[in-house]
Structure 1
């Protein structure tokens, strides 16, 4: 707490110094020890990231929680920002951090409450919600999601009845009682994580906790909500800011170079869909193939097509962007020929990042993070690079170990070695809309989806990514939010 200083924190500290009798404090807060948890018994863990934009959002959440604590006249809660922990490469996967949390906070906490940077918490309601559950028992609480059909993202788990397994929507916040944290920590110390890959963290954590029936399933809690504050019900202890981030003027489309990876066998099937949907939104765009086709047109990089991996092709694209582009475009977006993307929404998102810094952005996966490993941006949803990130990458000696190596994983390994963290955005999607729960997508303004398999890609684009009322409503809401901040 000693390092936390800001105008808001000064108000918090001053308020905390005011004298009040314990009974008056509880009366003011609307809480009693009979129907709520003591605030200092709750450890808050913000699933934050180290990039300046994300760290600032997490800090605002921390300040808000401390401000509420001062108003409740209770002891301050302990708040951990994940990105501030040592060895941050794998802390975002939560499980490797649990033994540390258990060792440090296990003796003086009843609950660990996890939330995202944009989760908003109403402390009195959350304390009452937690207070309804006996913290001496093992509890796993959250807003429940479930698969509507078996999906490749979850390796077709529970294919007989996909709705039977529930996992938490991180945006609403989720909680573990300390006895469960201690049990999981003991298990983690004695038995390393089995899976090499982290693909959908919320599902994988629920699977690990459930432990084939030896652990508790998720208990759905209606007070954990993902509606925004203006539309949430009075029962909601949490809400979620689902607007597309905008930190200034959207990045000009001429400042984003779009590279589409394709090959001859997909020229007639996939490229027409790109042109029918989102290609007109791009200012600068090229198609990279193993065959020059003037009718598209495509650029033959001189790299033979491979059935998988495409690492050689990707590094050739990066080299061409950095050294042979006729303009010094700040941003490169690399997509597959079956990726559907909204360039205008990407322009809004990139307003929150500085291309002069090394930025590697998209949907984050992990490899071997339980034992070191690295994070990477999965390619199908689109990979976004700042020019500075590419400059640092190509200045290093890190390259493909083979032309058909998985490009996204090699890039993750290279950037990890360079100390450039990947930056995650849940708005990029490696799979199709049908592969995600409707309740999960309901609080998103998605930027991309991937794959044309068993869907109409044009309809997917028109339904999920084409500019519409959602974008206009978001712009109006952001304008109102900025006005409130200025006041």
Structure 2
């Protein structure tokens, strides 16, 4: 009699044969399934390819232009470049829109109020709305290839991603626990919204009108609105949207040059008014004199107290803790009516503003002093409900003589001495039909309050505030001419309070 183990093996042989037959059949079925899955994936890929095989006619280009003659000309040049590239590709020409021509409303530059127009006008035949600055340079073949990577039937918010390196007052200290998590687009590189997202945002705008509050940093605020507390898409970083132009795959690049149109304006044609008060004579004014004051051809210090050692001019307006509207209008009156007939430009700065007069001379060469010009960093108030834009004071406010003449010829004045001067001026100029001209080279805050990637493609003209920094070092790092040891035409890489 054989051991049980052997008998068990003999009995298992038929079962093994059956198992082998079953496994073979399963393998054959699995192979068939793999083929079907592969065919299905190929078909799906083919369908996506068809969906994303867009033409230029499906892209609406929106140049974030301004009505000032210098900026309008720049925008027209970019429009011609876009249309020429499209013609060279033998494609049907795309629509190219200039933002300042789209609507007469004051808040058009904030873009969100225009989304319903884009939705109604272009949603049927377009896939993308592509926004860019007037100095953005577009490589059309690369842009088409880039956009074809994204299914336009889905909601997309595309751009070159910026993020705060530390929480900042500019963004109301948003995401203070980890500022790097929230991404927002660098407008200089261009950014895009898919049409389904435009349509979604339009529906939201109709049911939830924009709030009547401040517009301070548009790129961050648009990203917040689109994200909608996590209910909408976050920004998708697109490496082909560039500002440095060092990579052949870049669909966009940006000209990081300080404008110069002919000869720089003579420093004697720029009058600089520094707003100060007695309590800051001893600490802020010495910094002004140690840094940028020597560049100014004409400069006066306006205070609530005469101090011959500086010297200061007492305008007869009491100092106020905030606002300073009475003081600012007194400066405007003095500029227009007291022996400064030959000076074309007035610049009003705070005593803790750091500014490069030599760079301002270059920039102003591109503007016509006979036009009413109000220039600086643009903010907005109540633009969702027909408010106004204004130049924020800390970064410096630049006025042509003609703008001041028209302002003072009107009856628009301060409602109180301590009213916010920059906002009152914004109301007045808006009522006169004189738009604010924006320059991102003026800064209401300190260099540390901005992403380094953002500053890296700028030649800044001003920064504001001495809080928690060495202002002399900031000046010589960011603003001083080369002969003073500063960055010249280049910029380096690399507590809370009210602005």
Q: Which residue of 2 aligns with 1:168?
A: 185
What is residue 217 of structure 2 aligned with on the other side?
200
2:142 aligned residue (106, 125, 132): 125
Kept after mapping to 1: 8 A contact 2:270/2:346:
yes
Alignment of 1:174-185 (within 5 A): 174-185=191-202
Show the 5 A alignment for 1:43-54: 43-54=60-71
Partner residue of 1:277 out of 276, 287, 291: 291
The 3 A distance-change label for structure 1 pair 36 and 249 is farther
Cα deviation digits, residues 244-274 of structure 1 (max 9, x gap) = 0111100000000000000000000100000
Contact 1:35–1:128 (CA<8 Å) still a contact in 2? no
2:430 corresponding residue in structure 1 = 416
TM-score of the superposed pair, with normalisation by structure 2: 0.87
Hey, what does 1:67 align to over in structure 2? 84
Larger Rg: 2
Aligned to 1:26: none
Contact 1:224 1:237 in 2 (8 A): yes
What TM-score comes out, normalization by structure 1 length?
A: 0.89
- The aligned residue for residue 332 of structure 2 is 318
- Confirm or deny that 1:395 pairs with 2:395: no
Partner of 1:209: 226
Secondary structure of 2:363's aligned partner = helix
Which residue is 2:421 aligned to? 407
* Contact 1:256/1:333 (8 A) holds in 2: yes
Of 473, 480, 484, the residue aligned with 1:466 is: 480
- Counterpart of 1:152? 169
How do residues 426-445 of structure 1 correspond to structure 2 at under 5 angstroms?
A: 426-445=440-459
Equivalence for 1:453? 467
Q: Give the aligned partner of residue 322 of structure 2.
A: 308
Question: Within 2, Cα distance between the matches of 1:348 and 1:365?
Answer: 23
Please give the per-residue CA displacement for 1:263-305, whole angstroms capped at 9, x wherever unaligned.
0000001000000000000000000000000000000000000
The yes-or-no answer on 1:113 pairing with 2:130 is yes
Greater shift after overlay, 32-41 or 48-57?
A: 32-41
Equivalence for 2:361: 347
Q: What is the rounded CA distance, in whole Å, between the counterparts of 2:490 and 2:468 in structure 1?
A: 31
Aligned partner of 2:154 in structure 1 is 137
Match of 1:4 in 2: none
CA distance in 1 between partners of 2:64 and 2:441 (Å): 16
Question: Unmatched 5+ residue regions in structure 1?
Answer: 1-31, 475-487
Matched, 1:96 2:113: yes
Please say if residues 112 and 178 of structure 1, whose CA atoms lie closer than 8 Å, have aligned partners that are also in contact: yes
Tell me if 1:191 matches 2:208: yes
CA contact (8 A) 2:51 2:151 kept: no
**Alpha-carbon distance between aligned partners in 1 of 2:51 and 2:169, rounded to the nearest angstrom:** 46
Corresponding residue for 1:482?
none
8 A Cα contact 2:242 2:251, kept in partner: yes
Q: 1:248, 1:106 → 2: CA distance? A: 44
Task: Report how far residue 86 of structure 1 moved.
Answer: 2.3
- Given that residues 275 and 348 in structure 2 are in contact (C-alpha distance below 8 angstroms), is that contact kept between their aligned partners in structure 1? yes
Shift of 1:85: 1.5
Q: How does 1:13-92 map to 2 (within 5 A)?
A: 36-92=53-109
Q: Is the 8 A contact 1:37 1:128 kept in 2?
A: no
Does structure 2 conserve the Cα–Cα contact (< 8 Å) formed by 1:36 and 1:129? no
1:382 aligned to 2:399? no
* Aligned residue-pair number: 440
Q: How far 1:325 sits from its partner (Å)?
A: 2.9
Q: Tell me the SS of whatever aligns to 1:375.
A: strand
Structure 2 contact 378–392 (Cα < 8 Å) conserved = yes
413-422 or 32-41, which deviates more: 32-41
Tell me how far apart the structure 2 counterparts of residues 53 and 114 of structure 1 sit (CA, whole Å).
Answer: 20
Shift of residue 87 of structure 1?
1.5
Moved more, 325-334 or 135-144: 325-334
Which of structure 1's runs of 4+ aligned residues deviate more than 4 A?
Answer: 32-36
Shift of 1:35: 6.8
In the alignment, the residues of structure 1 paired with residue 88 and residue 52 of structure 2 have an alpha-carbon distance, to the nearest angstrom, of: 18
What residue number does 1:220 align with? 237
> What displacement does 1:472 show?
5.7
Kept in 1, the 8 Å contact 2:52–2:152? The answer is no
Cα deviation code 1:395-432 (max 9, x no counterpart): 00000010000000000000000000010000000000
Give the unaligned 5+ runs of structure 2: 1-48, 492-499
Residue 471 of structure 1 aligns to a residue whose secondary structure is coil
Could you tell me which of 321, 325, 332 is aligned with 2:346? 332
Q: Aligned residue for 1:7?
A: none
Q: Pick closer, same or farther for the CA change 1:473–1:377 going to 2, 3 Å.
A: closer
Q: What is aligned with 1:255?
A: 269
Q: What is the alpha-carbon distance in structure 2 between the residues aligned to residue 47 and residue 222 of structure 1? A: 21
Distance 1:200 1:472 in 2: 25
SS across alignment from 1:100: helix
Equivalent residues of 1:356, 1:386 under 8 A apart: yes
Q: Please give the secondary structure, in 1, of the residue aligned with 2:129.
A: strand
For 1:373, the equivalent position in structure 2 comes to 387
